[in-house]
Homo-oligomer: A and B are copies of this chain.
Amino acid sequence: MVYDAGVKRDPKVLKLCRRYLTWVQNSVFEGEITEGKYKMLKREMERVINRQEDSVVVYLLQSTKYTGREVIGREKGGETFIV
């Protein structure tokens, strides 16, 4: 999940993402999440952001079979999430 929100809403979005996912860098998060929790996250996100100004993009990887993750340089996030 990556987001770009206005200065006022940024800390709120950050806090919300942290509750559900793992911080990777800047405004980038990743994590394993159930469908139910993901729906909750989306509902909360819609209340927090300004839908005309802010943008949240979610990349869903339903299987780990055809997906991968590579790091060039440092691993920044606190926890490592291996797909």
Chain B residue contacts of A83, Cβ below 8 A: 59
- Given A57-B24, A67-B61; A46-B74 close (CB under 8 Å): no
Q: Can you tell how many copies of this chain the complex includes?
A: 2
Does A36 belong to the interface (CB within 8 Å)? no
Chain B residue contacts of A56, Cβ below 8 A: 71-73
How far is it, in angstroms, between the C-alpha of A66 and the C-alpha of B67 when the chains are bound?
9
Q: What band does the interface of chain A fall in when counting residues whose beta carbon is under 8 Å from B?
A: 35 or more
Chain B residue contacts of A68, Cβ below 8 A: 58-60, 62
Chain B residue contacts of A28, Cβ below 8 A: 2, 28, 57
Assess whether B63 is in contact with A61, with CB atoms less than 8 Å apart.
no
Point out residues on A near B: beta carbons under 8 Å.
2-4, 24-28, 30, 42, 45-46, 49-63, 65-76, 83
